[in-house]
Amino acid sequence: MALNKRGLINELRIKRGVVVKSTRRNIARSLVLFCCYAIVSSPALLSQVNVRLPEVAARPGSDVSIPVNVDDLTGRKVTAFELVISCDTSVVHLKGTDQEGTLSEGLTMFANNSVAPFSAGKMKIVCASAQPISGAGVLVKILANVRKSGTTTLALSDVIMNAGVPQVRTENGVLRVQASRGKKSGARK
């Protein structure tokens, strides 16, 4: 009977070890799946919006419209945004905004490029609405007057949507100004 008890005890230990290993495996799988779900569905990752300025080419003395582009805002409940755009005033002067044909068309907007600390080279834009903004594309257009040939970074800063949700990732733009190349007069031989 002692052999049978020992055999039975060893068999129970083996089965218990298999059950413990199986349970640990199931718990580990569940934790991995839970972590993957948490990462994929994280509000911080899902709610990030890209706001970017393009590369723009212009001629000296011309007026230019610089679009501020944004990812799809549909369903993100964005009812307000603010941003600051900066540039080199020796190349371009920021004049104001244009909302026609943009996602912010018809919304209340204020652009400050004249009251300190803002100027022709640094403009703050604030916009608010009772209804959420939806769609992707041009959020607002920045109007500027090109002064002379050169290149300037169009820098976005202090971009906030609502009270920080969704989070915003910005991408600066560039304005390249080149003088017109005149045609040579006279006939070629």
pLDDT of 32 reads: 60
- pLDDT of residue 36 exceeding 90, the answer is no
Give residue limits of the domains in the chain.
Answer: 1-41, 49-177
Q: How do residues 85-124 score in pLDDT, each as one tens digit?
A: 999 999 999 999 999 999 999 999 999 988 888 899 999 9
Worst-scoring range by mean pLDDT, 6-15, 83-92, 178-187? 178-187
Confidence bin at 22 (pLDDT 50/70/90): low
How far, CA to CA in Å, does 144 sit from each of 61, 87, 90, 93, 120?
Answer: 10, 10, 12, 5, 9
- pLDDT of residue 41 exceeding 60, the answer is no
Q: What gap in Å lies between CA 27 and CA 73, rounded to an integer?
A: 38
- Partners of 65 in beta bridges: 143
pTM: 0.71
pLDDT of 117 reads: 86
- pLDDT of residue 25 exceeding 70, the answer is no
**Among candidates 101, 91, 102, which has minimal Cα distance to 155?**
91
Q: What gap in Å lies between CA 55 and CA 177, rounded to an integer?
A: 11
2.60.40.680, 3.40.1190.20, 3.30.70.20, 2.40.50.140: which CATH number matches 49-177?
A: 2.60.40.680
The one-character DSSP state at 115 is S
* Contact in structure between 131 and 160 (CB atoms under 8 Å): no
pLDDT of 30 reads: 59
pLDDT of 19 reads: 58
pLDDT of 163 reads: 82
* Contact in structure between 81 and 68 (CB atoms under 8 Å): no
What is the average per-residue pLDDT within 134-145? 96
The one-character DSSP state at 119 is B
